[in-house]
Amino acid sequence: MAEKGENSPETLNNSIDAEVNSDVDENGLNSSNSETETESKKRRTQTPSPHPTGVPGFMAAASPPKFVTFEQLMEAANGVRNMTLAHEIVVDGDFKLETRKPQKNSVHSQVQEVVHKAFWDLLREEISQDPPEFKRSLVLIEEVKEVLLSLLLPQHVRLRAQLNEVLDLELIEQKMENEAFDIHYYAEYVIGIMGRLCAPLRDDQIAKLKEQREIVPLFKEIFEVLDLMKMDMANFTIQQMRPYLQQQSVEYERNKFQEFLKTQDEHGTDGLQFTKVWLKRSFEQLLAEEESSGEGATVGSKVTPASIMNEAYMELLQWDDNQVFPETLLMDQGRFLELRDKTRQLTLVASVLLVTYSTVGAPIAGIQDLKTTLKSNILTVIAAEKEFKKVIMNVAVQVKKDVNECLVKHGFSQLDEEKEKILIGQISDVAAEDHAVSTVMHKRICSFIKGSITSRHTEPLKVPAGYSAFQTELSQMLGRFLRLVSHNRSVFGMHYANIIGSLMRKQQDLSPR
């Protein structure tokens, strides 16, 4: 299965555009009739890499619905589930379905294992008889036939006819009754068809099937590969649907959310309660900033619908977990919180680099390779820990090691004991919430992101000072953020406009004449 390459962007704008549009330009809906079978297989079966999904559904209504029938509940749940799936496919270019296996040692897993073992043991016993008994083999062939037919595309007319002819169950049953049935012949035929239909990454597994001569292990492995092929086909279908869904999803999600609001309203619940709180908080923040600057609510006021929305979206990158997420953002809550954590992470790593270069000074000034090494190693150290304070000493030790190795490599002496203590102390202080360097670096990255959602990109975006080593990470993060914001605005813009309009009218009514 082809994987996407990760090339460093020549400019930040190009990289961001590629990130935002990455899931738009992949496989179109039409293919050339002249493509080879291998090219066709690759085109048919490419699926994106896995990536974790966000929190689904509208789960934070102001209060639970009061008198809802089971049918209404199921209808609403199915609508939200369908909308969530469509949304996942559209906003996540790496979305794909994966086979869910029961947890090891769970009741489900144990029952499944017992049932499967019993079936395969009986099959082994039947075909070992003299003469062999093939009743269960017929069941297997029937199941294999159904799966293979489900994997065929509409243009596979001849192959479908051939499958129905060769795997004619009535004819096979007659052969079994007349002791003229050759199970190896049918197994080889099935493997041959699988080899024609499978994705290139399954070729090695098909080759192993051809080497297997024992019937029971062979059919077990055939079903395992068929399960993978079904998932490949499902993900291929999703990939083919994505361009269509991108065109239709805004209207689809808008209509589904309107149905959700109508249901909430019928049961006395405000389906936008927390969205209103979110936008009001940003509105009041901007008013306070304007008042403190002495500008007041003048005709040229900076408190506009656009500025309120931008401020609200920026709050998501500093979200307080004690607050309830807005209803309009719930499907992307996981993604926004992941971006929040990534923003904090980049801020702190950039702060450590700044402190390190400032403390060590001239010997490492201008050595770009060291920045890359430090960045990579620090990100590795903190990868599994969201609380930077818990691993800050590990980070300091790693930085000291990398710096000393770099100094020796470039013909300098290692840091003396006093200098090492200062460096470790300076790095340890970065984890403090009110640390001057991390505060400044956080403002810089937030200003950069805010500029990206307010500007028209007529001029190239400049990487903030102190973040030169993070160009790739910044572009990827910003691309994801812009894609989410753009889609969210398109779907819920009307609701945001109504809420903000109401806030501004109330403010005007309260203002002195």
Asked if 364 and 415 touch (Cβ cutoff 8 Å), the reply is: no
495: which residues sit within 8 A by CB, 6+ positions away? 272, 275, 328
pLDDT score at 107: 64
Question: Domain for residue 279, yes or no?
Answer: yes
* pLDDT (average), residues 80-95: 66
Distance CA 230, CA 239 (A): 14
Q: Which three-class secondary structure state does DSSP give residue 198?
A: coil
pLDDT score at 139: 87
Asked if 350 and 470 touch (Cβ cutoff 8 Å), the reply is: yes
pLDDT bracket for residue 19 (50, 70, 90):
very low
pLDDT score at 110: 63
Distance CA 50, CA 136 (A): 37
Domain count, the chain: 1
Examine the pLDDT at 461 and tell me if it is beyond 80. no
* DSSP state at residue 200: G
Residue with tokens 């596979």: 156
pLDDT score at 239: 76
Asked if 63 and 269 touch (Cβ cutoff 8 Å), the reply is: yes
Domain that holds residue 467: 275-509
Residues 145-177: pLDDT tens digits? Answer: 999 998 888 888 999 999 999 999 999 999 888
Return the CA Rg of the chain: 30
335: which residues sit within 8 A by CB, 6+ positions away? 54, 91, 92, 480, 484
Select the more confidently predicted residue: 79 or 54.
79
Question: Domain for residue 374, yes or no?
Answer: yes
Residues 312-334: pLDDT tens digits? Answer: 999 999 999 999 999 999 989 99
pLDDT score at 53: 37
Question: Domain for residue 91, yes or no?
Answer: no
Question: Domain for residue 260, yes or no?
Answer: no
Residues 297-308: pLDDT tens digits? Answer: 454 477 899 999
pLDDT score at 72: 46
Residue 8: closest CA among 500, 448, 393, 471: 471
Examine the pLDDT at 262 and tell me if it is beyond 70. yes
Question: Domain for residue 461, yes or no?
Answer: yes
Around Cβ 209, how many Cβ atoms within 10 Å?
Answer: 22
What integer best gives the mean pLDDT of the chain? 78
Q: What's the Cα-to-Cα distance from 429 to each of 374, 441, 471, rounded to whole Å?
A: 18, 14, 25
Question: Domain for residue 303, yes or no?
Answer: yes
Examine the pLDDT at 371 and tell me if it is beyond 50. yes
Q: Which three-class secondary structure state does DSSP give residue 95?
A: coil
Distance CA 200, CA 189 (A): 19
pLDDT score at 253: 84
Examine the pLDDT at 248 and tell me if it is beyond 80. no
Question: Domain for residue 433, yes or no?
Answer: yes
Distance CA 351, CA 330 (A): 32
| Candidate from 65-69, 348-352, 393-397 with smallest mean pLDDT | 65-69
Select the more confidently predicted residue: 140 or 82.
140
pLDDT score at 108: 59
Please name the amino acid found at residue 135: K
Burial class (CB in 10 A: 0-12, 13-18, 19+), 403: buried
pLDDT bracket for residue 21 (50, 70, 90):
very low
Residues 330-361: pLDDT tens digits? Answer: 989 999 999 999 999 999 999 999 999 999 98
pLDDT score at 158: 93
Helix 203-211 with 183-197: angle, nearest 10 deg = 170
* pLDDT (average), residues 249-261: 86
Question: Domain for residue 407, yes or no?
Answer: yes
Examine the pLDDT at 250 and tell me if it is beyond 70. yes
pLDDT score at 384: 67
Percent of the chain with pLDDT over 90: 34
Examine the pLDDT at 256 and tell me if it is beyond 70. yes
Examine the pLDDT at 7 and tell me if it is beyond 90. no
Select the more confidently predicted residue: 451 or 40.
451
Residues 189-241: pLDDT tens digits? Answer: 999 999 999 888 899 999 999 988 888 888 889 988 998 898 888 888 777 77
* pLDDT (average), residues 82-106: 67
* pLDDT (average), residues 115-137: 75
pLDDT bracket for residue 294 (50, 70, 90):
low
Select the more confidently predicted residue: 314 or 43.
314
Establish whether the linkage from the previous residue to 131 is cis, with ω within 30° of 0.
yes
